């Protein structure tokens, strides 16, 4: 990539590094749009071919440079060794990109590409800012956290890992903040949300509980998002359970998630950072079941923040066999409108509107303060 001249004198250039999962790249794209729309910034992404950024960034109209870098955390000794031996090349590749693009600030959002890019920027004395969506930072952010110039975090407990951290929250689509509560007197509605790919344990356990749950909660209806690969099997499991088919529905995807949140009285979900942020923005009470294999057990830490705020109840995966506790908890919550209302109020108190704007403004401040 040849160095591109600045199209306008003083026009800020921001390099955004990292990705891997939607929890990292989707907020990064929201910040990028804010930078372009309100600050006329030039934005370049750096990621890896295997991460979601390789698809989402070009689709959003942004330029993407790819580097080769592998995982270090929760991998075999051989994989870690291979990553370490290739790390110098990753740093060289990032250094070349920094030299050619000449950013004013490097914004690391976590994920494989974030570490080398942030490391190269620190070595070149380019201002850096980290973004951490989870209550416990990933390895890339832990490595650079005390060396960055600033940080934006979603959960207050993550701030201690960084210099000059600000609790900004995660950028969430505006429509989540406008969701009204279900109308009084409407029968309870349970939304089961397993993420874009679905959650296998939800798809296995919930159909077997459906008959007893529907019997125990008058008027209850269930919408279960199971993921494309598992929707047919999950639907068949509900049919096999002989649960009343007029009271449950299984979908592969939910296109308008904000609308579905609005209909629900309770959400059963994983506790990825973006999901938790959406629940807070929507003011939705939730029963959270963290993904047990999540790196650094960060989903359990995310859920615990909401539990401590009395905005959610948490059940761990190991407590689902047998699933009696899950059934009892769901029944208790769905039959207690006052409890759900209290949880909803507390969930809304955890919301942080304007996150993309606040993060973008901080990046521009770093760009302006950079010595020329």
Mean pLDDT is lowest, of 86-95, 197-206, 234-243, for: 86-95
User: Mean pLDDT in the chain?
Assistant: 89
| Right CATH for 175-349 from 1.10.645.10, 3.40.50.2000, 3.90.1150.10, 3.40.50.300 | 3.40.50.2000
* Per-residue confidence (pLDDT) for residue 248, from 0 to 100: 98
User: Residues with Cβ < 8 Å from 319, sequence gap 6 or more?
Assistant: 325, 326
Q: Are 13-171+354-369 and 175-349 in the same CATH fold?
A: yes
Integer Cα distance of 240 and 250 in angstroms = 14
Q: Answer yes or no: are the C-beta atoms of 313 and 329 closer than 8 Å.
A: yes
Q: Answer yes or no: are the C-beta atoms of 314 and 329 closer than 8 Å.
A: no
Q: Answer yes or no: are the C-beta atoms of 272 and 52 closer than 8 Å.
A: no
* Per-residue confidence (pLDDT) for residue 20, from 0 to 100: 80
Give 92's pLDDT tier (boundaries 50, 70, 90): confident
* Per-residue confidence (pLDDT) for residue 204, from 0 to 100: 95
Give the per-residue SS3 of 179-247.
CCCCCCCCCCEEEEECCCCCCHHHHHHHHHHHHHHHHHCCCCEEEEECCCCCHHHHHHHHHHHCCCHHH
3-state secondary structure of 90: helix
Give 22's pLDDT tier (boundaries 50, 70, 90): confident
The candidate with the shortest Cα–Cα distance to 99, out of 35, 44, 140, 19, is 44
3-state helix, strand, coil in the chain (%, to 5): 50, 15, 35
Percentage of residues in the chain having pLDDT higher than 70: 91
Which sequence spans correspond to the domains of the chain? 13-171+354-369, 175-349
Percentage of residues in the chain having pLDDT higher than 90: 69
- Asked if the model's pLDDT at residue 246 lies above 90, the reply is yes
Give 81's pLDDT tier (boundaries 50, 70, 90): very low
User: Residues with Cβ < 8 Å from 281, sequence gap 6 or more?
Assistant: 172, 176, 177, 179, 348, 351, 353
The vertex-303 CA angle with 354 and 227, nearest 5°, equals: 85
Who has greater pLDDT, 68 or 361? 361
Give 8's pLDDT tier (boundaries 50, 70, 90): low
* Per-residue confidence (pLDDT) for residue 82, from 0 to 100: 52
- Asked if the model's pLDDT at residue 53 lies above 50, the reply is yes
Please give the C-alpha separations between residue 80 and each of 17, 74, 161, 294, in angstroms, as whole numbers: 21, 9, 23, 18
Structure tokens at 145: 């956290």
* Per-residue confidence (pLDDT) for residue 2, from 0 to 100: 44
Q: Answer yes or no: are the C-beta atoms of 281 and 176 closer than 8 Å.
A: yes
Mean pLDDT is lowest, of 67-71, 99-103, 248-252, for: 67-71
- Asked if the model's pLDDT at residue 72 lies above 80, the reply is no
The vertex-122 CA angle with 116 and 128, nearest 5°, equals: 95
Integer Cα distance of 98 and 149 in angstroms = 17
Q: Answer yes or no: are the C-beta atoms of 287 and 319 closer than 8 Å.
A: no
Integer Cα distance of 354 and 281 in angstroms = 11
The candidate with the shortest Cα–Cα distance to 302, out of 273, 341, 325, is 273
According to DSSP, the residues that pair with 191 across neighbouring strands are 223, 267
- Asked if the model's pLDDT at residue 74 lies above 70, the reply is no
Q: Answer yes or no: are the C-beta atoms of 80 and 72 closer than 8 Å.
A: yes
> How confident is the model over 251-306, as pLDDT tens digits?
998 888 899 999 999 999 999 998 999 999 999 999 999 998 877 788 999 999 99
Q: Answer yes or no: are the C-beta atoms of 144 and 305 closer than 8 Å.
A: no
Q: Answer yes or no: are the C-beta atoms of 134 and 155 closer than 8 Å.
A: yes
> How confident is the model over 175-190, as pLDDT tens digits?
999 998 888 889 999 9
**DSSP letter (8 states) at residue 170:** -
- Asked if the model's pLDDT at residue 313 lies above 60, the reply is yes
Integer Cα distance of 297 and 302 in angstroms = 9
CATH topology for 13-171+354-369 is Rossmann fold (3.40.50)
What average pLDDT does this structure show over 140-151? Answer: 90
């Amino acid at each position: 990539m040849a160095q591109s001249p600045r199209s306008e004198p003083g026009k800020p250039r921001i390099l955004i590094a990292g990705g891997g999962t939607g929890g990292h790249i989707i907020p990064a794209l929201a910040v990028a749009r804010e930078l372009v729309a309100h600050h006329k910034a030039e934005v370049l992404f750096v990621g890896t071919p295997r991460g979601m950024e390789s698809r989402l960034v070009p689709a959003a109209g942004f330029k993407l440079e790819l580097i080769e870098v592998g995982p270090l955390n929760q991998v075999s000794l051989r994989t870690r060794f291979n990553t370490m031996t290739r790390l110098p090349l990753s740093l060289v590749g990032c250094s070349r990109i920094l030299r050619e693009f000449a950013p004013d600030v490097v914004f690391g959002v976590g994920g494989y590409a974030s570490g080398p890019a942030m490391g190269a920027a620190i070595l070149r004395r380019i201002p850096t800012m980290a973004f951490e969506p989870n209550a416990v930072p990933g390895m890339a952010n832990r490595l650079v956290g005390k060396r960055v110039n600033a940080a934006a975090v979603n959960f207050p407990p993550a701030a201690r890992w960084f210099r000059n951290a600000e609790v900004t929250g995660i950028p969430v689509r505006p429509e989540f903040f406008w969701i009204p509560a279900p109308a009084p007197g409407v029968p309870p509605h349970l939304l089961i949300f397993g993420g874009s790919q679905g959650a296998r344990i939800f798809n296995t356990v919930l159909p077997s509980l459906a008959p007893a749950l529907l019997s125990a909660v008058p008027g209850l209806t269930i919408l279960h998002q199971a993921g494309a690969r598992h929707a047919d099997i999950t639907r068949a499991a509900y049919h096999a359970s002989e649960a009343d088919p007029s009271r449950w529905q299984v979908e592969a995807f939910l296109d308008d998630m904000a609308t579905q949140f609005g209909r629900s009285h309770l959400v059963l979900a994983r506790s990825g950072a973006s999901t938790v942020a959406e629940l807070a923005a929507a003011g939705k009470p939730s029963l959270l079941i963290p993904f047990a294999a999540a790196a650094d057990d960060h989903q359990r830490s995310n859920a615990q923040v909401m539990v401590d705020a009395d905005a959610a109840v948490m059940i761990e995966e190991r407590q689902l066999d047998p699933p009696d506790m899950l059934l009892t908890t769901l029944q208790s919550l769905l039959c207690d409108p006052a409890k759900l209302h209290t949880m909803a109020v507390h969930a809304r108190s955890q919301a942080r509107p304007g996150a993309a704007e606040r993060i973008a403004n901080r990046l521009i401040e770093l760009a302006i303060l950079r010595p020329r």
